[in-house]
Structure 1
């Protein structure tokens, strides 16, 4: 493949290589002839780009295809293990970190206890140190890193990766997270809101056939992520999906931590239910306590959860009419309380939304579970790395591994 003056492939050549990668990432082996037919590129262009992808390790040659006469043709397939991603889903008091391959398979993972209020430098150093240790556990090193993806529990300006006035993250506002993490680990870092990444992870690993999807996280707070035309929809300022602070018209006297009253989060979040149970003489400090009481068969708790589902359904019914999704996925800590939460949501959505919008609509509990965020962080990194603008820097052989004793 011809190169630009800096030694990297030109923009047009990188675009061709990116097209091939998008095609082969489905895992199906293809011959050069099939690649020509499916991409519309010429035979020489396909051959050149295949050779480059083979040299970089992003493509590998498989067993020969069945012969139709003469020597069987070679087939080529995406090699997801040639690079790895460090993915981190950071919450208010914990983080899940994982090393994944480029197909999202988890190679090593660890849950950390931390305090987001300790500030960005403390938290990001902790995440980076544990991430580097996970690399070792996965038998990899920094040279294998395609990039780092991080989800944070607050609004993030995705283009810069800087948190923007995050309510539970003192000291984080405007902090250059990508630059700080890249300096620690020597590779590109991408950052987004945690619920956006949960939506992306759930979609890519569980429901790729849904072109339009809403993911709702119900935990200490309530938020949602939107998938539109198969892509994450962030909105003009990156705060699309902030449904927790939609006001419910009949609950105007309930104060919310945002300063307004009647917000969905003030009525239906895990924190709100824990406070209500405590008032009723059933002490609960968190979503986990609410879930525990529900699993122990507390009728009062189950009734509160069902009503919380109805409140959430009120907001989602409007969203269904506006957005017309194929499916709604319910995740977050409170979703582990069982079917009562989802049942309450379904009850109102199916009742209040137009029949045309709900005739094929599915409302389901998260299948990716607590890994949704790291799946999404990994997908964000891989999809960004394989764009024509970013791909040239990855079209080089991976760094050689240090010899082991």
Structure 2
């Protein structure tokens, strides 16, 4: 299964129906019609198609409000589950989800991406067989590199020899005989956080600021990928700096060189500190070390400046920050301060800038939503 293209309003309606039922915000056709602002006949047709495909089921009758008692709806958990994979450089996380998208169970698996796609995916498949069940409906995969939706694999990734152009989705689909949805880890983290916090509507940006920096953009509850699936790549935005710091992309003074955990560690080492990890740098800041705190605040200010341009242009409802740097209050405060100072007041009028709540589970939750949305699109 490839990454889904833009879909029509009918398909979006089905996705929103499932989301409202899963979140407990609507339990009957009447409540769904009211929540969606659609005709009861339109909602009835989509509900029936979801019942026919086994994604929804009727669970009894509700209380009457003067007429016929409404038939209550719920996610049909007995009709299957989906499995998810979040591939990292040295490990993979596996997730088991019900048809509501809720994460039921996780497991970890050591892998080495540098060994290439076939041995890595074979190891993952073996673990999934032990982890999964006979009720598998689909698989969602998070990859740590730019994903080409046409092939269901990565293009131009760093530190992934043998992976460019490899059809990851087709490989796993051939093994398990179910649809497989594939996307970039930043996109899926953004989708996972957004669906948990905001549902299937509204707009958000999720930025992962850890050792490196990545971000995903959600428009009206769905991933926005851009013309070449590179939307949200703020990592290599150049910033003003007196230093001339080379970046892995070949340019100098990219955002990642100063606003990431690796950038803060580099600057601390230049100042004579014996640190090697982002965690050590953040611990110094928590201990009120003046230099470390200043560098963490500076990193947040740089990120906030880049985000202010994005926020002014995009006007999202929320900016969610995840990754190790987001655990630092000075970092978060600096991001907020710069965004609010640099953006038009109308743009920030209702803007939320908050730490993400889904943590390491975000890519798994997003991968589950991606494949479940595709199963919804397949409904008649």
CA RMSD in angstroms comes to: 2.9
2 CA distance for matches of 1:181 and 1:85? 13
1 CA distance for matches of 2:318 and 2:68? 48
1 CA distance for matches of 2:332 and 2:234? 17
2 CA distance for matches of 1:156 and 1:184? 21
Q: Give the CA deviation at 1:200.
A: 0.4
Q: Give the CA deviation at 1:57.
A: 3.3
Match of 1:223?
214
8 Å Cα contact 1:19/1:39 also seen in 2: no
2 CA distance for matches of 1:59 and 1:188? 19
**More moved, 303-312 vs 251-260:** 251-260
**More moved, 34-43 vs 152-161:** 34-43
**More moved, 271-280 vs 166-175:** 271-280
SS of residue in 2 equivalent to 1:172: coil
Q: Give the CA deviation at 1:335.
A: 1.8
8 Å Cα contact 1:314/1:348 also seen in 2: yes
Match of 1:285?
276
Q: 1:101 to 1:357 in 2, by over 3 A?
A: same
Q: Give the CA deviation at 1:72.
A: 4.6
2 CA distance for matches of 1:64 and 1:165? 54
| Aligned pair partner of 2:347 in 357, 361, 366 | 357
SS of residue in 1 equivalent to 2:86: strand
**More moved, 268-277 vs 316-325:** 268-277
| Aligned pair partner of 1:58 in 50, 55, 58 | 55
Taking structure 2 as the reference length, the TM-score comes to: 0.86
8 Å Cα contact 1:65/1:72 also seen in 2: yes
Taking structure 1 as the reference length, the TM-score comes to: 0.81
Q: How does 1:104-183 map to 2 (within 5 A)?
A: 104-135=101-132, 141=133, 143-183=134-174
Q: Give the CA deviation at 1:158.
A: 1.8
Q: Give the CA deviation at 1:40.
A: 4.5
Q: Give the CA deviation at 1:301.
A: 2.4
1 CA distance for matches of 2:181 and 2:42? 35
Q: Give the CA deviation at 1:384.
A: 1.2
2 CA distance for matches of 1:16 and 1:247? 41
* Deviation digits for residues 366-389 of structure 1 (CA, Å, limit 9, x no counterpart): 1111111111000000011111xx
Gaps of 5+ in 1: 1-14, 136-140, 393-405
2 CA distance for matches of 1:206 and 1:374? 15
SS of residue in 1 equivalent to 2:235: helix
8 Å Cα contact 2:18/2:100 also seen in 1: no
Count of residues paired in the alignment:
366
8 Å Cα contact 1:29/1:62 also seen in 2: no
Q: How does 1:92-111 map to 2 (within 5 A)?
A: 92-111=89-108
Q: Give the CA deviation at 1:300.
A: 2.9
| Aligned pair partner of 2:28 in 23, 30, 51 | 30
Q: How does 1:191-340 map to 2 (within 5 A)?
A: 191-208=182-199, 211-251=202-242, 253-336=244-327, 338-340=328-330
Gaps of 5+ in 2: 1-8
8 Å Cα contact 1:290/1:334 also seen in 2: no
1 CA distance for matches of 2:10 and 2:304? 45
8 Å Cα contact 2:14/2:376 also seen in 1: no
1 CA distance for matches of 2:152 and 2:277? 29
8 Å Cα contact 2:15/2:200 also seen in 1: no
Match of 1:8?
none
Larger Rg: 1
1:391 paired with 2:346, answer no
Match of 1:41?
41
8 Å Cα contact 2:94/2:106 also seen in 1: yes
Match of 2:358?
368
